[in-house]
Amino acid sequence: MLIFERDIAIDMGTNDVLLFVRGKGVQVREPTIVAVDKYTGKLLKVGREAQKMLGRTPASIVPIHPIANGVISDYDMTVAMLRELIGRVTSFSLFKPRVLLTVPGSISGVEERALIDAAVEAGARKVYLVESAVATATGAGVDVSKPDGHLVIDVGGGTTETAVVSLGGVAECESIRVAGGEFDEAIVRYIRRRHNVLIGAKTAEEVKMSIGCLVQKPDIGLEEVKGRDLVTGLPKMVQISSAELVDVLMEPAKAILESIHLVLERTPPELVSDISQNGIIMSGGGSLLYGFDRLVEEDTGIRTLVVDDPVSCQAYGAGKMLHALNDMTDGMVNFARKRQLRA
C-alpha cells in the first residue's frame, strides 16, 4: 500500500537507536553500531548484525559507534546508519518523512546543526528537535506544558542527564559522561585488579545486568565470569558475587548523585518545592541497575520512581509529540543560547 507521508521520532542514544512511527509505535530498535570495511569505507552491517561482530571481526572490518555521549562522533557513518534505518520504515512512502530528533539539553549549536544535516542527508524532509528530558517526561505521562517542576534523570549508555522540566522546556540541566558504560568499566577494572583476569566490555555488561546492584540484595547472586588470565594468557573462570559489586559500582554512582545535587542547588526554590511533591523520574537503561532508585531516594530525601519502560520511554514520549509537529519550528533551536539568555 502506498503511503503519502510518515512522521518519525528518533531517539539516538550512545547504545541504542529507536524509531517511533506515528500511528504504529516503535518500529525499529537497534544498537547504535555499524560495521565498516576498513579499506573501501563501505557500510556492511547496521545494528544488531554489526554488534554480533564485536571482538570477532577480521582486520579488514571495523565496528564503529557513530554516536557518542548523545551527539555525532562520526558524521558519515551516522548518515549511513540513519539512511538504512529510516529506509526500513518509509519504503512505501511517496514523500520524505518529517523527523523529530531527541537531543541532550547540553547540546551546542554546532552539534545541533550536525544532527539536522545528517538527518536531512539521510532522507528527512524536515527535522525538528526536542530536548530529551522533555520527551522522557512526556513518555512518563507528565503534562510538561504546565508550570510545574519535574526532575528527570536519564542514565544512558554514555551520559547521564539530570534536568528540571517545566512549561514545555528545560529550566536547569547537568550532563556528565558517567553512565552505563562507566559501570561496565568499573567491573572490568575490579576483576582485573582482584583476580588478574581480563574481560571484555560485553561480558562486564552481562555481569552488571545479571547481578549488579547498588544496595545489598536479599539473596546474594553469584556469576561465573570467563576471561583471559593476565599471567598465563590462558582462559580462566572466576566467580563474582553481587555483594562484591556494591562497592565497585558505588564510585560511578556517586558522581551521578553529585550531579543531581548540583542541579537542585541551581534550581529556583519554587521548582524545588514542586519536585519534592512530584518526585524524581528515572529512565534510561542504567536506571535498571538494582537499587539505583533507592539510592537516589535515600540521598535526596525525594520519592524516586523508575518509569515502566526505561529504555523506550524517551522514544514513546517523542512519539506522543509527533501530533504537534505543525505547531513546532523545524531546524535549529539553539538550546545553548536559550540557556545563556535565561541565566
The CATH number of 7-135+314-342 is which of 3.40.50.2300, 3.40.50.740, 3.40.50.300, 3.30.420.40? 3.30.420.40
CATH topology of domain 180-248: Actin; Chain A, domain 4 (3.90.640)
CA distance 80 to 46: 9
Task: Give residue 336's pLDDT.
Answer: 64
Distances 43 to 47, 60, 77 between C-alpha atoms, Å: 11, 12, 8
**pLDDT tens-digit readout, 46-90:** 999 988 887 777 888 888 999 987 789 999 999 999 999 999 888
Domains 7-135+314-342 and 180-248 equal at CATH topology level: no
The answer to whether residue 2 scores a pLDDT higher than 50 is no
For residue 302, which amino acid is it?
A: I
Tens-place pLDDT, residues 283-316: 999 999 999 999 999 999 999 999 999 999 999 9
Query: Residue 343 above 80 pLDDT?
Result: no
142-178+252-311 homologous superfamily: ATPase, nucleotide binding domain (3.30.420.40)
SS (H, E, C) the chain: CCECCCEEEEEECCCEEEEEECCCEEEEEEECCEEEECCCCCEEEECHHHHCCCCCCCCCEEEECCEECCEECCHHHHHHHHHHHHHHHCCCECCCCEEEEEECCCCCHHHHHHHHHHHHHCCCCEEEEEEHHHHHHHHCCCCCCCCCCEEEEEECCCCEEEEEEECCEEEEEEEECCCHHHHHHHHHHHHHHHHCEECCHHHHHHHHHHHCECCCCCCCCEEEEEEEECCCCCEEEEEEEHHHHHHHHHHHHHHHHHHHHHHHHHCCHHHHHHHHHHCEEEECHHHHCECHHHHHHHHHCCCEEECCCCCCHHHHHHHHHHHHHHHCCCCCCCHHHHHHHHC
**Residues whose CB is less than 8 angstroms from the CB of residue 52 and which lie 6 or more positions away in sequence, other chains included:** none
| pLDDT, tens digit (0-9, with 9 covering 90-100), for 235-288 | 999 999 999 999 999 999 999 999 999 999 999 999 999 999 999 999 999 999
- Supply the pLDDT for residue 1: 42
Would you list the domain boundaries of the chain?
Answer: 7-135+314-342, 142-178+252-311, 180-248
Quick: pLDDT tens for 8-49: 999 998 889 999 999 899 999 999 999 998 888 888 899 999
pTM here? 0.90
